[in-house]
Protein backbone atom coordinates (compact mmCIF):
# COMPACT_ATOMS: atom_id res chain seq x y z
CA UNK A 1 0.00 0.00 0.00
CA UNK A 2 2.77 2.37 1.03
CA UNK A 3 4.82 1.52 -2.06
CA UNK A 4 1.78 2.15 -4.28
CA UNK A 5 1.20 5.50 -2.64
CA UNK A 6 4.85 6.40 -3.09
CA UNK A 7 4.67 5.33 -6.72
CA UNK A 8 1.53 7.40 -7.40
CA UNK A 9 3.01 10.54 -5.82
CA UNK A 10 6.32 10.11 -7.63
CA UNK A 11 4.64 9.61 -11.01
CA UNK A 12 2.37 12.61 -10.46
CA UNK A 13 5.27 14.90 -9.60
CA UNK A 14 7.32 13.52 -12.50
CA UNK A 15 4.50 14.35 -14.86
CA UNK A 16 4.36 17.91 -13.49
CA UNK A 17 8.06 18.27 -14.22
CA UNK A 18 7.89 16.77 -17.70
CA UNK A 19 4.94 18.93 -18.80
CA UNK A 20 5.99 22.07 -16.95
CA UNK A 21 4.80 24.60 -19.53
CA UNK A 22 1.40 23.04 -20.15
CA UNK A 23 0.94 22.42 -16.45
CA UNK A 24 1.63 26.07 -15.70
CA UNK A 25 -0.77 27.17 -18.43
CA UNK A 26 -3.60 25.02 -17.13
CA UNK A 27 -3.03 26.12 -13.52
CA UNK A 28 -3.03 29.80 -14.50
CA UNK A 29 -6.18 29.38 -16.61
CA UNK A 30 -7.87 27.54 -13.76
CA UNK A 31 -6.79 30.28 -11.33
CA UNK A 32 -8.09 33.12 -13.54
CA UNK A 33 -11.42 31.43 -14.18
CA UNK A 34 -11.88 30.58 -10.52
CA UNK A 35 -11.02 34.15 -9.59
CA UNK A 36 -13.78 35.21 -11.98
CA UNK A 37 -16.22 32.89 -10.24
CA UNK A 38 -15.07 34.19 -6.85
CA UNK A 39 -15.44 37.83 -7.85
CA UNK A 40 -18.92 37.13 -9.21
CA UNK A 41 -19.99 35.57 -5.91
CA UNK A 42 -18.36 38.36 -3.92
CA UNK A 43 -19.96 41.14 -5.96
CA UNK A 44 -23.36 39.46 -5.70
CA UNK A 45 -22.93 39.35 -1.95
CA UNK A 46 -21.88 43.00 -1.89
CA UNK A 47 -25.02 43.96 -3.83
CA UNK A 48 -27.06 41.82 -1.44
CA UNK A 49 -25.61 43.94 1.38
CA UNK A 50 -26.97 47.03 -0.34
CA UNK A 51 -30.36 45.37 -0.52
CA UNK A 52 -30.21 44.05 3.04
CA UNK A 53 -32.91 46.30 4.39
CA UNK A 54 -35.32 45.28 1.63
CA UNK A 55 -35.12 41.53 2.27
CA UNK A 56 -38.31 39.45 2.56
CA UNK A 57 -40.45 41.45 0.11
CA UNK A 58 -40.29 44.65 2.15
CA UNK A 59 -41.44 47.52 -0.06
CA UNK A 60 -41.87 50.34 2.42
CA UNK A 61 -39.93 51.35 5.53
CA UNK A 62 -41.14 53.87 8.11
CA UNK A 63 -38.05 55.22 9.91
CA UNK A 64 -38.70 56.39 13.47
CA UNK A 65 -36.74 59.12 15.23
CA UNK A 66 -34.36 57.83 17.96
CA UNK A 67 -36.32 60.05 20.32
CA UNK A 68 -39.73 58.63 19.40
CA UNK A 69 -41.79 57.75 22.45
CA UNK A 70 -43.60 54.52 23.15
CA UNK A 71 -46.93 56.17 22.35
CA UNK A 72 -45.66 57.40 19.02
CA UNK A 73 -44.44 53.90 18.15
CA UNK A 74 -47.84 52.47 19.13
CA UNK A 75 -49.56 55.04 16.94
CA UNK A 76 -47.57 54.05 13.86
CA UNK A 77 -48.03 50.38 14.72
CA UNK A 78 -51.82 50.85 14.89
CA UNK A 79 -51.89 52.84 11.65
CA UNK A 80 -50.09 50.02 9.84
CA UNK A 81 -52.38 47.41 11.40
CA UNK A 82 -55.50 49.20 10.21
CA UNK A 83 -54.10 49.54 6.68
CA UNK A 84 -54.53 45.80 6.13
CA UNK A 85 -56.07 46.30 2.69
CA UNK A 86 -52.69 47.58 1.50
CA UNK A 87 -50.27 46.03 3.93
CA UNK A 88 -50.13 42.27 4.36
CA UNK A 89 -47.60 42.24 7.18
CA UNK A 90 -45.05 44.40 8.91
CA UNK A 91 -42.44 44.06 11.56
CA UNK A 92 -40.71 46.43 13.87
CA UNK A 93 -36.91 46.47 13.69
CA UNK A 94 -35.79 47.84 17.06
CA UNK A 95 -32.45 49.42 18.00
CA UNK A 96 -30.55 46.10 18.19
CA UNK A 97 -32.02 44.85 14.90
CA UNK A 98 -31.23 48.17 13.20
CA UNK A 99 -27.68 48.17 14.52
CA UNK A 100 -27.14 44.64 13.19
CA UNK A 101 -28.37 45.81 9.81
CA UNK A 102 -26.02 48.80 9.98
CA UNK A 103 -23.12 46.38 10.50
CA UNK A 104 -23.72 45.13 6.98
CA UNK A 105 -24.71 48.38 5.33
CA UNK A 106 -21.81 50.39 6.72
CA UNK A 107 -19.25 47.58 6.61
CA UNK A 108 -17.06 49.72 4.39
CA UNK A 109 -17.39 52.79 6.56
CA UNK A 110 -16.42 51.83 10.08
CA UNK A 111 -16.27 55.54 10.98
CA UNK A 112 -19.94 56.03 10.17
CA UNK A 113 -20.91 52.75 11.86
CA UNK A 114 -19.10 53.80 15.05
CA UNK A 115 -21.29 56.89 15.29
CA UNK A 116 -24.42 54.76 15.49
CA UNK A 117 -25.53 53.66 18.94
CA UNK A 118 -28.80 52.54 20.47
CA UNK A 119 -29.48 56.20 21.21
CA UNK A 120 -28.81 57.51 17.71
CA UNK A 121 -29.98 54.72 15.38
CA UNK A 122 -33.27 55.13 13.50
CA UNK A 123 -35.60 52.22 14.28
CA UNK A 124 -37.82 50.93 11.47
CA UNK A 125 -41.23 49.52 10.63
CA UNK A 126 -40.72 47.28 7.59
CA UNK A 127 -43.92 46.71 5.65
CA UNK A 128 -44.72 44.01 3.08
CA UNK A 129 -47.62 45.12 0.84
CA UNK A 130 -50.61 42.88 0.06
CA UNK A 131 -50.14 40.99 -3.18
CA UNK A 132 -51.29 43.11 -6.10
CA UNK A 133 -51.09 46.39 -4.22
CA UNK A 134 -50.13 49.19 -6.53
CA UNK A 135 -46.91 50.71 -5.18
CA UNK A 136 -48.00 54.17 -6.36
CA UNK A 137 -51.17 53.80 -4.31
CA UNK A 138 -49.08 52.67 -1.35
CA UNK A 139 -46.90 55.73 -1.85
CA UNK A 140 -49.97 57.96 -1.64
CA UNK A 141 -51.23 56.16 1.46
CA UNK A 142 -47.84 56.47 3.07
CA UNK A 143 -48.07 60.24 3.06
CA UNK A 144 -50.22 59.93 6.13
CA UNK A 145 -47.51 57.88 7.87
CA UNK A 146 -44.94 60.60 7.15
CA UNK A 147 -47.16 63.09 8.98
CA UNK A 148 -47.41 60.98 12.14
CA UNK A 149 -45.43 62.17 15.18
CA UNK A 150 -42.06 60.50 15.75
CA UNK A 151 -41.68 59.50 12.08
CA UNK A 152 -38.36 60.54 10.56
CA UNK A 153 -38.90 59.44 6.97
CA UNK A 154 -40.67 56.89 4.78
CA UNK A 155 -38.62 55.03 2.15
CA UNK A 156 -39.73 52.91 -0.74
CA UNK A 157 -37.89 49.88 -2.06
CA UNK A 158 -38.78 50.59 -5.63
CA UNK A 159 -36.56 53.65 -5.80
CA UNK A 160 -33.43 51.96 -4.52
CA UNK A 161 -34.00 48.37 -5.54
CA UNK A 162 -34.51 49.05 -9.21
CA UNK A 163 -31.10 50.70 -9.59
CA UNK A 164 -29.25 48.20 -7.42
CA UNK A 165 -30.99 45.23 -9.06
CA UNK A 166 -30.13 46.60 -12.46
CA UNK A 167 -26.49 46.91 -11.49
CA UNK A 168 -26.51 43.49 -9.82
CA UNK A 169 -27.94 41.68 -12.80
CA UNK A 170 -25.77 43.65 -15.25
CA UNK A 171 -22.51 42.81 -13.51
CA UNK A 172 -23.57 39.43 -12.12
CA UNK A 173 -24.70 37.92 -15.40
CA UNK A 174 -21.73 39.12 -17.41
CA UNK A 175 -19.17 38.12 -14.81
CA UNK A 176 -20.80 34.73 -14.38
CA UNK A 177 -20.91 34.14 -18.13
CA UNK A 178 -17.26 35.05 -18.44
CA UNK A 179 -16.39 32.80 -15.51
CA UNK A 180 -18.28 29.86 -16.97
CA UNK A 181 -16.44 30.25 -20.29
CA UNK A 182 -13.11 30.54 -18.50
CA UNK A 183 -13.95 27.52 -16.36
CA UNK A 184 -14.75 25.51 -19.49
CA UNK A 185 -11.44 26.66 -20.95
CA UNK A 186 -9.69 25.53 -17.76
CA UNK A 187 -11.34 22.09 -17.91
CA UNK A 188 -10.37 21.75 -21.58
CA UNK A 189 -6.81 22.84 -20.87
CA UNK A 190 -6.49 20.39 -17.99
CA UNK A 191 -7.99 17.71 -20.23
CA UNK A 192 -5.45 18.54 -22.95
CA UNK A 193 -2.55 18.60 -20.49
CA UNK A 194 -3.46 15.17 -19.20
CA UNK A 195 -3.93 13.88 -22.73
CA UNK A 196 -0.47 15.17 -23.61
CA UNK A 197 0.97 13.60 -20.46
CA UNK A 198 -0.63 10.28 -21.39
CA UNK A 199 0.70 10.56 -24.94
CA UNK A 200 4.20 11.37 -23.66
CA UNK A 201 4.09 8.28 -21.47
CA UNK A 202 2.36 5.91 -23.89
CA UNK A 203 5.32 3.53 -23.95
CA UNK A 204 5.34 3.37 -20.17
CA UNK A 205 1.57 2.81 -20.10
CA UNK A 206 1.86 0.03 -22.66
CA UNK A 207 4.47 -1.70 -20.49
CA UNK A 208 2.34 -1.17 -17.38
CA UNK A 209 -0.63 -2.81 -19.07
CA UNK A 210 1.45 -5.72 -20.30
CA UNK A 211 2.86 -6.49 -16.87
CA UNK A 212 -0.61 -6.46 -15.36
CA UNK A 213 -1.22 -3.02 -13.88
CA UNK A 214 -4.93 -2.34 -13.47
CA UNK A 215 -6.54 0.54 -15.37
CA UNK A 216 -7.21 2.35 -12.11
CA UNK A 217 -3.60 2.04 -11.03
CA UNK A 218 -2.57 3.65 -14.34
CA UNK A 219 -5.29 6.29 -14.21
CA UNK A 220 -4.85 7.53 -10.65
CA UNK A 221 -1.57 9.49 -11.11
CA UNK A 222 -3.09 11.28 -14.12
CA UNK A 223 -6.32 12.03 -12.28
CA UNK A 224 -4.37 13.21 -9.27
CA UNK A 225 -2.35 15.46 -11.55
CA UNK A 226 -5.50 17.10 -12.94
CA UNK A 227 -6.96 17.37 -9.46
CA UNK A 228 -3.81 19.16 -8.30
CA UNK A 229 -4.00 21.56 -11.27
CA UNK A 230 -7.50 22.51 -10.14
CA UNK A 231 -6.63 22.75 -6.45
CA UNK A 232 -3.47 24.80 -7.04
CA UNK A 233 -5.51 27.03 -9.37
CA UNK A 234 -8.06 27.36 -6.56
CA UNK A 235 -5.37 28.28 -4.02
CA UNK A 236 -3.93 30.93 -6.36
CA UNK A 237 -7.41 32.27 -7.06
CA UNK A 238 -8.11 32.40 -3.31
CA UNK A 239 -4.94 34.40 -2.75
CA UNK A 240 -5.96 36.72 -5.60
CA UNK A 241 -9.45 37.12 -4.18
CA UNK A 242 -8.10 37.90 -0.73
CA UNK A 243 -5.75 40.54 -2.18
CA UNK A 244 -8.54 42.00 -4.31
CA UNK A 245 -11.01 42.14 -1.44
CA UNK A 246 -8.46 43.76 0.90
CA UNK A 247 -7.59 46.40 -1.69
CA UNK A 248 -11.25 47.02 -2.50
CA UNK A 249 -12.24 47.33 1.17
CA UNK A 250 -9.50 49.82 1.97
CA UNK A 251 -10.28 51.69 -1.25
CA UNK A 252 -13.99 51.98 -0.47
CA UNK A 253 -13.21 53.40 2.99
CA UNK A 254 -11.75 56.46 1.31
CA UNK A 255 -14.93 57.13 -0.70
CA UNK A 256 -17.31 59.87 0.48
CA UNK A 257 -19.88 58.67 3.06
CA UNK A 258 -22.82 59.38 0.79
CA UNK A 259 -21.31 57.71 -2.27
CA UNK A 260 -23.46 54.61 -1.82
CA UNK A 261 -20.47 52.30 -2.08
CA UNK A 262 -20.17 51.71 1.63
CA UNK A 263 -22.12 48.45 1.55
CA UNK A 264 -20.20 47.11 -1.43
CA UNK A 265 -17.58 45.42 0.72
CA UNK A 266 -17.50 41.95 2.18
CA UNK A 267 -16.10 41.79 5.68
CA UNK A 268 -18.41 39.24 7.28
CA UNK A 269 -16.25 36.19 6.48
CA UNK A 270 -18.18 35.43 3.29
CA UNK A 271 -14.92 35.83 1.35
CA UNK A 272 -13.59 32.73 3.14
CA UNK A 273 -16.69 30.79 2.11
CA UNK A 274 -16.09 31.90 -1.48
CA UNK A 275 -12.46 30.73 -1.27
CA UNK A 276 -13.66 27.33 -0.12
CA UNK A 277 -16.18 27.24 -2.98
CA UNK A 278 -13.39 28.12 -5.44
CA UNK A 279 -11.21 25.30 -4.11
CA UNK A 280 -14.07 22.83 -4.46
CA UNK A 281 -14.92 24.03 -7.99
CA UNK A 282 -11.20 23.91 -8.88
CA UNK A 283 -10.89 20.37 -7.59
CA UNK A 284 -14.05 19.34 -9.47
CA UNK A 285 -12.86 20.98 -12.71
CA UNK A 286 -9.49 19.23 -12.39
CA UNK A 287 -11.08 15.89 -11.59
CA UNK A 288 -13.57 16.16 -14.47
CA UNK A 289 -10.94 17.24 -17.04
CA UNK A 290 -8.37 14.66 -16.05
CA UNK A 291 -10.94 11.94 -15.37
CA UNK A 292 -12.34 12.20 -18.90
CA UNK A 293 -8.87 12.30 -20.45
CA UNK A 294 -7.58 9.39 -18.37
CA UNK A 295 -10.61 7.25 -19.22
CA UNK A 296 -10.63 8.16 -22.88
CA UNK A 297 -6.98 8.04 -23.88
CA UNK A 298 -5.56 5.18 -21.83
CA UNK A 299 -6.50 2.65 -24.48
CA UNK A 300 -3.11 2.82 -26.18
Partner 1 sequence: MIRLENVTKSYSTEIVAVRDASFDVAKGEFVFLVGPSGSGKSTLLRMLNRQDRPERGAVWVAGRNIVDMPPSRVPHLRRNIGNIFQDYKLLLEKNVFENVAFAQEVIGRPTHVIKQQVPAVLELVGLAGKEDRLPHQLSGGEQQRVSVARAFVNRPLIMLADEPTGNLDPATGEGIMRLLDRINKTGTTVVMATHDQRIVNTMRKRVIQLDRGVIVRDQARGVYE
Interface with partner 1 by CB under 8 A: which residues? 1-4, 6-7, 203-204, 206-215, 217-218
Name which of 150 and 221 has its Cβ closer to partner 1: 221
Q: How far is the CB of 171 from partner 1 (least distance, A)?
A: 50
Taking the least distance from each CB to partner 1, the nearer of 119 and 210 is 210
Q: Minimal distance in Å, beta carbon 223 to partner 1? A: 16
Contact 218, 205 (CB under 8 A): yes
Q: Are strands 151-156 and 60-64 parallel, antiparallel or unpaired?
A: antiparallel
Task: Say how many C-beta atoms besides its own lie within 10 A of residue 284's C-beta.
Answer: 16
Which is nearer to partner 1, 148 or 208 (by Cβ)? 208
Residues contacting residue 27 through CB under 8 Å, at least 6 positions apart:
229, 232, 233, 236
Q: How buried is residue 281: exposed, middle or buried, by Cβ count under 10 Å (0-12/13-18/19+)?
A: buried
CB of 206 to partner 1, least distance (A): 7
At 64 the three-state DSSP class reads strand
Say how far apart CA 42 and CA 266 lie, in whole Å. 7
Return the number of the residue (128 or 200) whose C-beta is nearest partner 1: 200
**DSSP states along 120-179:** TPPEEEEEEEPTT--HHHHHHHHHHHHTSTTEEEEEEHHHHHHHHHHHHHHHHHHHHHHH
Residue closer to partner 1 by CB (options 106, 222) is: 222
Tell me how far, at minimum, the Cβ of 290 lies from partner 1, in Å.
Answer: 19
Q: Which is nearer to partner 1, 210 or 258 (CB)?
A: 210
**In whole angstroms, how close is the CB of 197 to partner 1 at the nearest point?**
14
Helix (H, G, I), strand (E, B) or coil at 265: coil
Helix axes 20-50, 215-253, angle to 10 degrees: 40
Which CB atom, from 32 or from 223, has the smaller least distance to partner 1?
223
Nearest distance, CB of residue 13 and partner 1, angstroms: 14
Instruction: Identify any residues that bridge with 89 across adjacent strands, giving them in sequence order.
Output: 128
Four-residue CA torsion sign, 283, 286, 290, 291: positive
Rounded least distance, CB 22 to partner 1, Å: 18
Amino acid sequence: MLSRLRYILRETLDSFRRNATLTLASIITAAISLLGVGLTLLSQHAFDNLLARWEGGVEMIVFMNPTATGDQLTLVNDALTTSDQFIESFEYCDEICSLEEADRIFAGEPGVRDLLTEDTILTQFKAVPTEGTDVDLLRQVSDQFAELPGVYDVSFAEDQISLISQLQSFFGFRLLLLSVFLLLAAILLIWNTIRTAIFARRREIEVMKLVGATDWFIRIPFMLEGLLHGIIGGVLASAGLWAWNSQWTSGVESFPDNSGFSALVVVDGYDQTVMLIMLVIGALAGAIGSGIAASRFLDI
